[in-house]
Every structure is written in structure tokens, then in C-alpha cells.
Amino acid sequence: MRFKHYLHIVIVLILAASFSAVGVHAQTEESKTNNSLKDGAWALQFQIGSNFTLSSFQGKTISVKKHYSNFAAVRVGITGESQFTTEKRFYSDTARATEWDGGGNNSQFISLIGQYLFYPNPEARVNVFFGGGPILSFSRTFQNTDYVSDSQYRAYESNQWGAGAIGVLGVECFVLSELSLHAEYGVSLQHFWNKYTTETRLFQNNHLIGTSGYTEKTWRLSNSVKFGLSVYF
């Protein structure tokens, strides 16, 4: 069912692009409308979810677009996240009870998604666009745990680098000159390189007992359908 849904969206987008290209010369002045597809225009973009809730479009921190002409724009989505936690654990046996600091973990993630977008007919009421660009990402997770039973400290770390590209095809309709609704279909291909490392040390003198780890490389092909809202200024 999900595949059929994506297929229907693709067919609609392709038909819209075809009709837009064929109808460029046949447009009348009445079919045109004022919009913000102009040189120097900026837009903040939001994704429309279920129950018409708004969320990030292609970057959890910010998603912004800038037009360099009425035909071309650059869109960038940035995500930056960081989390730090600590743990307190309780160790006990029949002889004693001790409260101790069990360690903690922290994680960071950053990604950058960019596309160069082209609008073949920017004066149309429904504006078809297409384009593509790079995807870059990095994530890190570090976790340390104290094992009271064997007086050891273990640290686990994972690092992941990602790089790839995405292509998009969509339509944008202006409700007002500074407000638009848009739908797009995207296909992305990414390559990920992962490195995992574990270290074991003694409590007393931080003496390194041993290390272990491995690396992993993967390719990921994915697609998406997004509905969004853009506010121009």
C-alpha cells in the first residue's frame, strides 16, 4: 500500500510537470498570480503532518530557502542535536550496601541537506520545481559504565559519518504572495561509515586492560513524500 501511495504521488508530479511545460505559451494573464519566486526572496519551510501539525521540513534545527532568481533557488536544512545523561545505581549484597555513580553517556548529531532547485515556469499559478544536492551527516555516542563487582570501568564509543545525494521533484502553490503550500517526492542514496570502540580500565589507577572494536560500511537507498508550508520574507 505504501508503494502504491508513493507511485501515485510520482505520477501526479510527473503529470503536473508535463502540463506545466506544455502550457507555458498557452497561459493567459488571468491564470498568472503574484508570488515570491523572486531574486533575493527568503523562505522558512515547515512540514505538514497528521492533523495539520507543523514540524521541521528537512532540518530539525532550521530549513530555509533563498532565491537567486525567479527560476532558481538554494535550499538548506540543518539539524544539530546533543544529549548528556548521568546515572546513579545501587549495588548491594548480604554484607554491605553501597550507592555509587554508575557513569553516563552523551551523544551528538549534525546533518546538512542542500538542494539547488529549478522552477521552469515561475509565473504559473502552480509552480513545478525539481533539483538535487548533497547530504552530509555525523553522529557520535559515548557511554561509560562502572562495574563494581570486578572494579572495572568500560567506555563505549561509536562514530558514524554519512555522505550522499538527494533528488527532488515537486509542485508549489501560492495561497498568498508570501505563503505557499508544496508537495514533493525525493529519492536519496547515502553511504555510511561506522566505527565502534570499547575500552576496559581498572578503577584504581585507570590502567588500560584492553580494547576492542570494528568498522562497518553500508549503503542506504530511500524515498520520501513530503507536504510542506513556506513563509516568504
Q: What would the CATH number be for the domain defined by 2-232? A: 2.40.160
Confidence (pLDDT) at 154? 83
Q: Give the integer Cα–Cα distance in Å for 180 and 228.
A: 8
What is the rounded average pLDDT of the residues 200-225? Answer: 88
* Confidence (pLDDT) at 55: 81
Confidence bin at 37 (pLDDT 50/70/90): very high
Higher model confidence: residue 212 or residue 51? 212
Please state the rounded mean pLDDT for residues 125-137: 94
Has residue 44 got a pLDDT over 70? yes
Neighbours of 193 (CB within 10 A): 13
| Arithmetic mean of pLDDT over the chain | 82
Top-confidence residue, 102 or 176:
176
End-to-end CA distance of the chain: 39
**For residue range 95-127, what is the model confidence (pLDDT) as tens digits?**
545 545 567 889 999 999 999 999 999 988 789
Contacts of 196 (CB under 8 A, 6+ apart): 156, 157, 158, 213, 214, 215, 216
Domain ranges of the chain: 2-232
pLDDT at 14 over 60: no
pLDDT band at 168 (very low <50, low <70, confident <90, very high): very high
pLDDT at 22: 44
pTM for the model stands at 0.74
Alpha-carbon Rg for the chain, nearest whole angstrom, is 25
How does residue 88 score in pLDDT terms, banded at 50, 70 and 90? low
Residue 90 has a pLDDT of 59
φ, ψ (nearest 5 deg) of residue 148: -65, -35
pLDDT of residue 46: 93
Q: Is the pLDDT of residue 134 over 90?
A: yes
